[in-house]
Amino acid sequence: MSPFTGSAPRTPEWRHLRVTVDESGVATVTFARPEKLNALTFGAYADLRDLLAELSREKSVRALVLAGEGRGFCSGGDVDEIIGATLAMDTAQLLDFNRMTGQVVRAIRECPFPVVAALHGVAAGAGAVLALAADFRVADPSARFAFLFTKVGLSGGDMGAAYLLPRVVGLGHATRLLMLGDTVRAPEAERIGLISELTDEGRSDEAAQALAHRLAEGPALAYAQTKALLTAELDMPLAAAVEMDAATQALLMNGEDYAEFHAAFTAKRPPKWQGR
């Protein structure tokens, strides 16, 4: 993401999300409609898309936690405010909407900092895909995933799910989850690789914050390049992938963090990572 901005000022307030950034550079973005199980609205999608772009340009955030207030993470698109509204849209409007939801997933995958989803309760529909798009999924035993798109008469391949899910859990599990839309509870989700870390009951937010702070204290540029390569190389042949790895390493070997590691190792002290 380019750091250069035009005439648009920084957004002073995000009306559809709760956003905080602490002194360590950890941003916490919370879906805050607990009375609706954090169901998404058009505004929430657009805010998340624009927020991730803005944070990526500013380069002040070193890790981001995506969380949900109340009884669950996110129940997906609001039945009245999105599903009901889309029934009155024409094809061009529907295409604009569906492209926007995909842009949110791309923003999560392409932002230059790690994204940690803190999961408890339901992560359904679009909520499940947003969790899937994160780099880490930290969940407590109450967490449950449901890719519900076929249950409302739509393709299970929504928002990039048919691209991402097979790469996380394998084609067989992805076919079952996207076609049938059945609920996957935390033990099975951990077994098939859908959960990165399973915590004790009620500890997912705490564990996600701990992981985000660990990442924020680490070599930010190395993490950003690792994330970029993981995404870019999903569709590359081996020869192209190893060439991209070589070029990336050559650039990073000219960086301050690489030299700092050697200096710290020699002085027998922890490295002081600068993200450069």
The verdict on residue 125 lying in a domain is yes
Q: Does residue 194 sit in the same domain as residue 61?
A: yes
Angstrom distance (rounded) from CA 190 to CA 192: 6
Do the beta carbons of residue 69 and residue 104 sit within 8 Å? no
The verdict on residue 43 lying in a domain is yes
Window from 29-38, 65-74, 75-84, 183-192 with minimum mean pLDDT = 75-84
Q: How confident is the model at residue 4 (pLDDT cuts 50, 70, 90)?
A: confident
Split into its structural domains, the chain has a count of: 2
Q: Does residue 86 sit in the same domain as residue 212?
A: yes
Instruction: Please give the pLDDT value at position 2.
Output: 67
> In terms of residue numbers, what domain contains 99?
17-217
Q: Does residue 76 sit in the same domain as residue 43?
A: yes
* CATH number (domain holding residue 39): 3.90.226.10
Q: Does residue 167 sit in the same domain as residue 198?
A: yes
Instruction: Please give the pLDDT value at position 16.
Output: 95
143: left (phi over 0), alpha (psi -120 to 50) or beta: beta
Instruction: Please give the pLDDT value at position 1.
Output: 60
Q: Does residue 72 sit in the same domain as residue 208?
A: yes
The verdict on residue 71 lying in a domain is yes
Compute the average pLDDT of residues 121-138.
98
Helix axes 220-232, 91-110, angle to 10 degrees: 130
| Residue 52, pLDDT above cutoff 70 | yes
| Residue 134, pLDDT above cutoff 70 | yes
Average pLDDT for the chain: 95
Residue range 229-246, pLDDT digits in tens: 999 999 999 999 999 999
Residue range 166-213, pLDDT digits in tens: 999 999 999 999 999 999 999 999 999 999 999 999 999 999 999 999
127 or 8: which leads in pLDDT: 127
Q: Does residue 189 sit in the same domain as residue 245?
A: no
The verdict on residue 254 lying in a domain is yes
The verdict on residue 235 lying in a domain is yes
Q: In what order do the strands lie in the sheet with 26-31?
A: 18-21, 26-31, 63-68, 115-119, 136-139, 197-198
Q: Does residue 210 sit in the same domain as residue 225?
A: no
| Residue 10, pLDDT above cutoff 90 | no
Compute the average pLDDT of residues 86-112.
96
Which secondary structure element, helix H or strand E, spans residue 115, and what is its range? strand 115-119
Q: How confident is the model at residue 7 (pLDDT cuts 50, 70, 90)?
A: confident
Through-space distance between the first and last CA atoms of the chain, rounded to whole angstroms: 16
- pTM, full prediction: 0.94
| Cα Rg of the chain, angstroms | 19
Do the beta carbons of residue 274 and residue 256 sit within 8 Å? yes
Closest CA to 48 of 133, 123, 124, 120: 133
- List, as one string, the DSSP characters of 148-183: -GGGGTS-S--TTHHHHHHHHH-HHHHHHHHHH---
Q: Which amino acid is at 108?
A: I
Q: Does residue 204 sit in the same domain as residue 228?
A: no
Q: Does residue 243 sit in the same domain as residue 143?
A: no
Q: Does residue 126 sit in the same domain as residue 261?
A: no
Instruction: Please give the pLDDT value at position 150.
Output: 96
The verdict on residue 5 lying in a domain is no
3-state secondary structure of 226: helix
β-partners of residue 203 are none
Q: Does residue 66 sit in the same domain as residue 198?
A: yes
Window from 54-63, 111-120, 210-219 with minimum mean pLDDT = 54-63
The verdict on residue 275 lying in a domain is no
Q: Does residue 182 sit in the same domain as residue 54?
A: yes
Q: How are beta strands 197-198 and 184-185 bridged, if at all?
A: unpaired
The verdict on residue 147 lying in a domain is yes
| Residue 6, pLDDT above cutoff 80 | no
CA 213, 218, 221, 223 torsion-angle sign: negative
Q: How confident is the model at residue 9 (pLDDT cuts 50, 70, 90)?
A: confident
Angstrom distance (rounded) from CA 147 to CA 116: 19
